[in-house]
Amino acid sequence: MSAATITPDSVFKLAKLFRLQWEPAQKAHVLLYPEGMVKLNDSAGEIMTRIDGVKTVAEIVADLEQKFETTGLLEDVTGFMEVADGQGWIRRQGD
């Protein structure tokens, strides 16, 4: 998927093989899948917890900007989502 296909109106969900959870031992959000685990950094964890198959990319960005009292996160969020989509962690809603 190219960056051009991830728009502010795009909606994504967690891919079926993955489960997102907080792992106290890792002190981080992790993605669990049958072959193992991916430890997410803080930023990735914040984004992934908001990918629910309902919120648009714009809504996720607005929520993050409000929480962290900043602006201009659209490029960073879509960049991460492009990587997550490429890794198969997330899928466009309806796929």
SS3 30: strand
Render pLDDT for 26-67 as a digit per residue (tens, 0 to 9): 999 999 999 999 999 999 999 999 999 999 999 999 999 999
Render pLDDT for 69-87 as a digit per residue (tens, 0 to 9): 999 999 999 999 999 999 9
Q: Which residues are 19's β-sheet partners?
A: 32
45-71 as b/e: b if 16+ CB within 10 A: bbbbebbeeebebeebbbbbeeeeeee
Q: In the chain, where are the structural domains located? A: 3-14+41-90
pTM of the model: 0.91
